[in-house]
């Protein structure tokens, strides 16, 4: 049974902290984030450096990658939407992907066990 | 007595003028490191803009309001547009009058720029430029006149070597008012807002200290008498730095870099009013004990609702206040040939200093408060919340400090260059 999904979310950098807070409240603990350049149909920024005027087609975005058990997909997605949404074009996307296998490196645990946070001692 | 031009004095004051001018871009660097990366250029530009806008304002009007005429409160317009400001000596000095004007210009420039620290990351650029121009004329010029233009404080005997009143208390308490009128950043108190480049902060602080040798060392307006104020500018900040690091260890357990940079500024501010009036050992004492009020204020301020973002009030207002009062206790006629303080048998000096620390904060606060309220009635002072989110670099200047260049498409190459024009496909 494929009990694990990978949630990839691309959000505005200025909303990244709100997303982290919302995920924390939803008790989603394991995640990674990267700063990326992206374009999601928002209006291009025009910038001028001396005589050179350019249209910036890519904007700073933050990409979250979160491995979760099936039943955690919905709370995770809801938390991301709550944290990232401003209502303007360029708020980002969330992708939910099936995952073949997840392995926790330290213990060798697989799938659901591997994405379930360790109970703190 | 008509004084003649002294080559040594003139050479030093030319140098000191350039040293103080450097302090303004140094301040821009210091401030830029303290803000988030998306506001780097806007923050830096507020200082850079002062070099232009305030520099011209000084030559046109503000210099005359500060240094022409004998009014108790403010000067007159006799020297407006540099009328009668020439290459001959004046005011009993041994340097050209024009050089005196240029030297004083650099003070007004950095003082106006200092206030930007209270409003960075949300104030629009244009109203801030207009504010600096008006502030130079209506707040800085009168306060400089009080202590250096034979105004009421000078006549009462208040000692202010290099600007405890018009520079440090004026900028600090103006920053206090500006932070209230403009209001807090939308993220203030809601999320952690951290300095984005501590190396800029340290480099800026170092360059400010370097420039401060011209600020304090030049404020005697001659070379022969510059040694005391110059050396005190070395000693007092050194003492502040040591005390600050000790406090960091005792209170937080670690010596912080941003704390050290702050200590350098606080130490330089503390010695600014007193540099030419107290002994070198008194300067060390001033730098050491003067660190305490600023340190405590900077620890507590972020927990309040006052988003005086880069702590201009703590670093400049409070330290300037402390430095001015310290003169009243520790001024030494053995060193300054003018007056003793309370501890050397002249308690009256303390009263002269006390007048300055009552009047300067009140005038600066009220003046700035009213000025910004009036400006705010004419135009929005703040960027929109959305622009605050994306950052003021793109929103206000159409540039970024750390450009990736990926996905940048040329839309208008300069005419005359043989670039291939990018044409929109139909």
Rounded to whole angstroms, how far apart are CA atoms B16 and B95? Answer: 12
Contact B209, B27 (CB under 8 A): no
- Stretch A46-75: mean pLDDT, rounded? 90
Dump pLDDT digits (tens) for B252-307. 999 999 999 999 999 999 999 999 999 999 999 999 999 999 999 999 998 999 99
Nearest CA in chain B to A20: B191
Residue B107 has pLDDT above 80, yes or no: yes
Dump pLDDT digits (tens) for B110-125. 999 999 999 999 999 9
- B38, B191, B414 ranked by CB distance to A17: nearest: B191
Dump pLDDT digits (tens) for A4-60. 999 999 999 989 999 999 999 999 988 999 999 988 877 778 888 888 888 888 888
The DSSP annotation for A53-84 comes to: EEEE--EEEEEEEEEEEGGGHHHHHHHHHHHH
pLDDT confidence tier of residue B413, bands split at 50, 70 and 90: low
Dump pLDDT digits (tens) for A77-105. 999 999 999 998 889 999 999 999 999 99
Average pLDDT, chain B: 94
pLDDT at B97: 97
Closest C-alpha to A44, from B409, B130, B102: B409
- Stretch B14-27: mean pLDDT, rounded? 98
Residue B22 has a CB neighbour count (10 Å cut-off) of 16
Contact B320, B272 (CB under 8 A): yes
Dump pLDDT digits (tens) for B340-398. 999 999 999 999 999 999 999 999 999 999 999 999 999 999 999 989 998 999 999 99
How close is the nearest chain B Cα to the Cα of A37, in Å? 8
pLDDT at B2: 67
Q: Report chain A residues whose CB lies below 8 A from the CB of B416.
A: none
pLDDT at A48: 87
Please list the alpha-helical segments (H only) found in chain A.
16-25, 73-84, 111-115
Nearest CA in chain B to A14: B389
pLDDT at B414: 54
Q: Report chain B residues whose CB lies below 8 A from the CB of A37.
A: 404, 406-407
Rounded to whole angstroms, how far apart are CA atoms B233 and B14? Answer: 19
Describe chain B by its helix, strand, coil percentages, rounded to 5. 65, 0, 30
- A12, A14, A54 ranked by CB distance to B410: nearest: A54
- A47, A51, A58 ranked by CB distance to B398: nearest: A47
Rounded to whole angstroms, how far apart are CA atoms B112 and B131? Answer: 9
- Which carries the bigger pLDDT value, residue A43 or residue B88? B88
Residue B276: CA count within 13 A, CB half-sphere: 24
pLDDT at B198: 97
Residues of chain B that touch chain A, judged by Cβ-Cβ distance less than 8 Å: 38, 191-192, 386, 389-391, 394, 398-400, 403-404, 406-414
- Stretch B185-203: mean pLDDT, rounded? 94
Closest C-alpha to B177, from B368, B317, B321, B380: B368
Nearest CA in chain A to B396: A47
What is the enclosing helix (H) or strand (E) of A34? strand A32-38
Pick from A26-30, A117-121, B207-211, B262-266: least confident: A117-121
The string over B34-72, giving b where at least 16 C-beta atoms fall within 10 Å of a residue's C-beta and e elsewhere, is bbbbbbbbbbbbbbebbbebbbebbbbbbbbbbbbbeee
Rounded to whole angstroms, how far apart are CA atoms B240 and B258? Answer: 14
pLDDT confidence tier of residue B412, bands split at 50, 70 and 90: low
Beta-carbon separation of B410 and A57 below 8 A: no
How close is the nearest chain A Cα to the Cα of B178, in Å? 25
pLDDT at B3: 81
Q: Report chain B residues whose CB lies below 8 A from the CB of A53.
A: 410-412
**N- to C-terminal Cα distance for chain B?**
81
Contact A7, A80 (CB under 8 A): yes
Beta-carbon separation of B404 and A58 below 8 A: yes
Beta-carbon separation of B411 and A47 below 8 A: no
Residue B423 has pLDDT above 60, yes or no: no
Closest C-alpha to B315, from B250, B270, B254: B270
Residues of chain A that touch chain B, judged by Cβ-Cβ distance less than 8 Å: 12, 14, 17-18, 37, 39, 45-49, 51-58, 86, 88
Beta-carbon separation of B394 and A37 below 8 A: no
Residue B240 has pLDDT above 60, yes or no: yes
The pTM of the full predicted model, rounded to 2 decimals, is 0.91
Beta-carbon separation of A54 and B409 below 8 A: yes
Phi/psi for B51 (5° steps) reads: -55, -40
Rounded to whole angstroms, how far apart are CA atoms B236 and B258? Answer: 18
Contact A30, A67 (CB under 8 A): yes
Q: Report chain B residues whose CB lies below 8 A from the CB of A86.
A: 386, 389
How close is the nearest chain A Cα to the Cα of B54, in Å? 24
Strands of the sheet with B408-412, listed across from one edge = A45-49, A52-56, B408-412
Residue B262 has a CB neighbour count (10 Å cut-off) of 26
Rounded to whole angstroms, how far apart are CA atoms B260 and B263? Answer: 5
- Which carries the bigger pLDDT value, residue A41 or residue B105? B105
Q: Report chain B residues whose CB lies below 8 A from the CB of A88.
A: 386
Contact B112, B43 (CB under 8 A): no
Residue B153 has pLDDT above 50, yes or no: yes
Beta-carbon separation of A55 and B413 below 8 A: no
């Amino acid at each position: 049974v494929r009990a694990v999904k990978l949630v990839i979310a691309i959000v505005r950098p200025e909303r990244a902290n709100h997303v982290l807070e919302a995920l924390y409240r939803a008790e989603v603990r394991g995640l990674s984030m990267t700063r990326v350049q992206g374009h999601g149909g928002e209006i291009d920024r025009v910038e001028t450096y001396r005589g050179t005027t350019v249209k910036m087609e890519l904007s700073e975005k933050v990409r979250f990658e979160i491995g979760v058990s099936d039943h955690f997909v919905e709370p995770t997605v809801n938390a991301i939407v709550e944290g990232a949404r401003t209502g303007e074009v360029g708020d980002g996307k969330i992708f939910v992907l099936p995952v073949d296998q997840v392995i926790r490196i330290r213990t060798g645990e697989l799938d659901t066990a591997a994405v379930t946070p360790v109970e703190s001692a | 007595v008509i004084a003649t031009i002294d080559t040594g004095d003139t050479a030093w004051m030319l140098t000191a003028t350039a040293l103080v001018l450097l302090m303004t871009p140094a301040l821009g660097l210091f401030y830029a490191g303290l803000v988030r990366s998306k506001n780097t250029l806007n923050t830096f530009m507020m200082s850079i803009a002062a070099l232009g806008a305030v520099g011209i304002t000084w030559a046109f009007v503000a210099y005359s309001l500060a240094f022409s005429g004998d009014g108790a409160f403010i000067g007159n317009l006799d020297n407006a547009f540099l009328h009668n400001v020439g290459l001959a000596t004046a005011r009993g000095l041994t340097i050209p009058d024009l050089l005196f004007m240029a030297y004083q210009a650099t003070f007004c420039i950095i003082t106006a720029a200092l206030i930007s620290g209270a409003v960075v990351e949300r104030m629009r650029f244009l109203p801030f430029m207009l504010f600096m121009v008006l502030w130079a004329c209506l707040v800085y010029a009168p306060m400089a006149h009080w202590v250096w233009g034979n105004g009421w404080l000078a006549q009462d005997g208040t000692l202010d070597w290099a600007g405890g009143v018009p520079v440090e208390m004026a900028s600090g308490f103006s920053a206090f008012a500006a932070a209230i009128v403009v209001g807090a950043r939308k993220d203030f108190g809601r999320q952690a807002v951290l300095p984005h480049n501590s190396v800029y902060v340290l480099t800026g602080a170092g360059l400010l200290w370097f420039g401060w040798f011209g600020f304090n060392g030049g404020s005697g307006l001659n070379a022969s008498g510059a040694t005391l104020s110059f050396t005190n500018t070395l000693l007092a900040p050194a003492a502040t730095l040591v005390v600050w690091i000790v406090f960091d260890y005792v209170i937080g357990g670690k010596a912080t870099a941003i704390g050290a940079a702050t200590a350098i500024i606080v130490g330089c501010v503390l010695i600014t009013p007193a540099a030419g009036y107290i002994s070198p050992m008194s300067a060390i004492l001033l730098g050491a004990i003067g660190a305490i009020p600023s340190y405590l204020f900077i620890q507590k301020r972020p927990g309040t609702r006052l988003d005086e973002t880069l702590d201009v009030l703590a670093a400049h207002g409070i330290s300037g206040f402390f430095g001015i009062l310290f003169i009243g206790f520790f001024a030494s006629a053995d060193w300054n040939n003018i007056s003793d303080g309370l501890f050397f048998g002249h308690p009256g000096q303390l009263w002269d200093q006390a007048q300055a620390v009552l009047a300067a904060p009140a005038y600066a606060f009220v003046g700035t408060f009213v000025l910004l309220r009036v400006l705010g009635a004419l135009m929005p002072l703040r960027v929109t919340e959305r622009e605050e989110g994306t950052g003021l670099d793109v929103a206000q200047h159409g540039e970024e400090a750390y450009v990736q260049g990926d996905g940048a498409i040329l839309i208008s190459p300069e005419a005359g260059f043989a670039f291939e024009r990018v044409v929109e496909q139909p």
